[in-house]
Amino acid sequence: MTMRPSTEIAAEIAAVEAQRVNLATGQAVVDVWRDGRRMRLAIPSLAELETLLATLRREYEAAVLAESGGTARRGIRLQWG
């Protein structure tokens, strides 16, 4: 799998954060009129944006680590038995 550069991921994180602010302030809501009825659409939802942000932040950390030549470290799982 080819990893995207961290600068590209950082720009995408900034765009998603801006979209989250727009959604929270009501600027991302679209009014659609159909057959005399108004429907309000807000796409994507706040939960979807939060999930996307978490995924992008993990991807960003991995990209920065790979660009610096480091290796991923994980905590040791201890099990008491």
Domain annotation covers residue 76: no
Q: Which tens digits make up the pLDDT trace of 41-64?
A: 767 888 999 999 999 999 999 899
In a domain, 79, yes or no: no
CATH of residue 14: 3.30.1580
Q: What backbone torsions phi and psi does residue 41 show, to the nearest 5 degrees? A: -120, 135
What percentage of the chain reaches a pLDDT higher than 70? 89
The better pLDDT of the pair 36, 76 is held by 36
Residue 1 lies in a domain: no
Average pLDDT value over all residues in the chain: 85
The DSSP secondary-structure symbol of 35 reads T
Domain that holds residue 15: 6-67
Helix, strand, coil proportions of the chain in percent (round to 5)?
A: 50, 15, 35
Overall number of domains in the chain: 1
Transcribe 37-65 into DSSP letters: EEEEEE-S-HHHHHHHHHHHHHHHHHHHH
Neighbouring-strand partners of residue 40: 31
